[in-house]
Structure 1
Amino acid sequence: MSPPLADRICLVAGASRGVGRGIARALGEAGATVIVTGRSSQAGAITDGRRETIEDAAHEVGAAGGRGHPYRCDHTSEREVDTLVSWALRRFGRIDVAVSSVWGGNEGHDGERFADGSAWGDPFWRRPVARFGHLMETGPYAALLLARAVAPAMVSARRGLLAFVSFSTEEGYLGDIHYDLATAGLNRLALACGEELRGHGVTALALTPGRVRTERAADAGLDATESPLFAGRALAALAADPDAARHAGRNLHAADLARLYGFTDIDGSQPERFRP
């Protein structure tokens, strides 16, 4: 049998590291062609001194069984996002799945404090507001730029999946005012896009990972419950589901999707929902 996504063209924004990289790899496992985008490239600049690049991530897609294509893009630039999507449509003819995993919220963090001197969870009246603007730019704004660029082609084709990596706020405050507001914005964006695209054959939704063992988390020695591949397999399962439209506008937990679709993490486990 052919892999479930062997005929799909996917674009994963923010895939040089973290959850985005896990999603790209999982789509590759399912046989997809994956355009891997981000700012960190072997051929140019890297972000925050990190060693991971889009070329490495694209290679992982190929090693997993798919076809990876790196493309350097600053997803806070409308011009660069529009150029990326135009290139993808010329090269592949369509985009079946688009994922925004762009997030600059951890840039400049030394393990204890951010560059502005604040720490996670400091009271809002002691927090400089400039960092909040950065989170909104690298979260909801970047996601909206991608959605706006890919939606016309998906609407024309009357098919497509548009997903935003976020974190659910349904159970209450997330413990940090900047993070809470930015993720709430992503969740409302998923709701709004889900409503506006529903009648055009396109499904938009948000995806909540758990406590992920990203490269940053591993370097800092932080405890984690799941690998980036777990959320990736959740997204791949949604992309392969012919009835994914029933999830439109919702924020879905990777742990819940594991039980719905039957996939596991890289170690064979099915981690429980992470509750901060």
Structure 2
Amino acid sequence: MKPLQGKIALVAGATRGAGRGIAIELGAAGATVYVTGRTTREARSEYNRPETIEETAELVTQAGGQGVAVQVDHLVPEQVEALVKRIEQEQGRLDVLVNDIWGAEYLAEWNVPIWEHSLEKGLRMLRLAIDTHIITSHYALPLLIKNKNGLIVEMTDGTAEYNQTHYRISVFYDQAKTSITRMAWALAQEVQPHGCTAVALTPGWMRSEIMLEHFKVTEATWRDATADEPHFVISETPRFVGRAVAALAGDPEVGRWNGQSLSSGGLAQVYGFTDVDGSRPDCMRYLVEVVEADKPADVRGYK
């Protein structure tokens, strides 16, 4: 069962976290997946982390697809343009574009007002979060819209509904994440006449490499983190949102979602996929109904 066999995907920002999870699941569905990022086995980005795009590509291939690693700084238009030209020369088409470029976890100053937040770090965050997505769409969409049913997924943090009523920790982070939702809506207006679809998508509380490191646990021992943060019990692997993207990419009626703000947990209820452990966490609903209601951690009915 390879519903995406013959499909070509670009996961921009696939070195780690959601991007890696998405790339793997697209590969598991049979797609050829170009995975980009700045960190390779020979060079590290400003993150200075060990994960590499080559590792992601290998995981895609192991999952059943074909992974192709390409080092790209998505703030450099010439590099993005060259990437898309390569995809066109090698494949002749692009069916799925996932804009997951971020790279700003270490720039955010949480709960710091704008007049105290580092301006340099804040503006860098906005460039990494927004400019990269615009540059990538500018060059990639002419190839994607050549065929009907192309899909653009703009990755963000929080649904439009949630972010509309919640301050997202700093002005810079708030702008970075809410802007992407609007960007997906705007892209939807532009690609719809070509029979293509654009959506915004958020994971829940994701057990990324950085999050696991923050709690001093591994994927195998992640439940130990609930001793300090009980609500971490609602968390999900990066593969869960990856399965959400694969489900969208394989849906012949994906156009019904055009312009919408979606979540991994919400889509799981529609498409029936689960996380790798068989659970189906609905984090966005849990945050409102349990965490904000000041109730004790209890995932019954949410996972």
Same fold (TM over 0.5): yes
2:101 is equivalent to residue 102 of structure 1 = yes
The CA deviation at 1:67 is: 0.8
Question: 2-side partners of 1:95 and 1:7: how far apart?
Answer: 10
Question: 2-side partners of 1:107 and 1:58: how far apart?
Answer: 25
Whether contact under 8 Å (1:10, 1:96) holds in the other structure is yes
What is the aligned length?
266
Question: 1-side partners of 2:43 and 2:49: how far apart?
Answer: 13
Aligned partner of 2:292 in structure 1 is: none
Aligned partner of 2:171 in structure 1 is: 177
Corresponding residue SS for 2:161 = coil
**For the pair shown, which has the larger CA radius of gyration, 1 or 2?**
2
Whether contact under 8 Å (1:75, 1:145) holds in the other structure is yes
Which consecutive aligned stretches of 4+ in structure 1 deviate over 6 angstroms post-superposition?
A: none
2:249 is equivalent to residue 239 of structure 1 = yes
Whether contact under 8 Å (2:160, 2:261) holds in the other structure is no
Provide the aligned C-alpha RMSD in A: 1.5
* Structure 1 segment 12-91 matched on structure 2, within 5 A: 12-91=11-90
Question: 2-side partners of 1:8 and 1:47: how far apart?
Answer: 32
Aligned partner of 2:155 in structure 1 is: 165
The CA deviation at 1:72 is: 0.4
2:127 is equivalent to residue 137 of structure 1 = yes
2:143 is equivalent to residue 153 of structure 1 = yes
Uncovered stretches (5+) of structure 1, i.e. residues with no partner: 109-113
Question: 2-side partners of 1:46 and 1:145: how far apart?
Answer: 19
Corresponding residue SS for 2:68 = strand
Corresponding residue SS for 2:146 = helix
Whether contact under 8 Å (2:100, 2:155) holds in the other structure is yes
The CA deviation at 1:23 is: 0.3
- The code of the aligned residue for 2:97 comes to A
**Cα shift readout 1:139-189 (whole Å, capped 9, x = no counterpart):** 121111111111112222233101111122422222322111111111111
Corresponding residue SS for 1:125 = coil
Whether contact under 8 Å (1:214, 1:228) holds in the other structure is yes
TM-score (norm 1): 0.92
Whether contact under 8 Å (1:46, 1:53) holds in the other structure is no
Question: 2-side partners of 1:87 and 1:79: how far apart?
Answer: 12
2:188 is equivalent to residue 194 of structure 1 = yes
Question: 2-side partners of 1:106 and 1:169: how far apart?
Answer: 21
Whether contact under 8 Å (1:104, 1:134) holds in the other structure is no
**Cα shift readout 1:47-80 (whole Å, capped 9, x = no counterpart):** 4220000000001001111110100000111111
Uncovered stretches (5+) of structure 2, i.e. residues with no partner: 216-224, 289-303
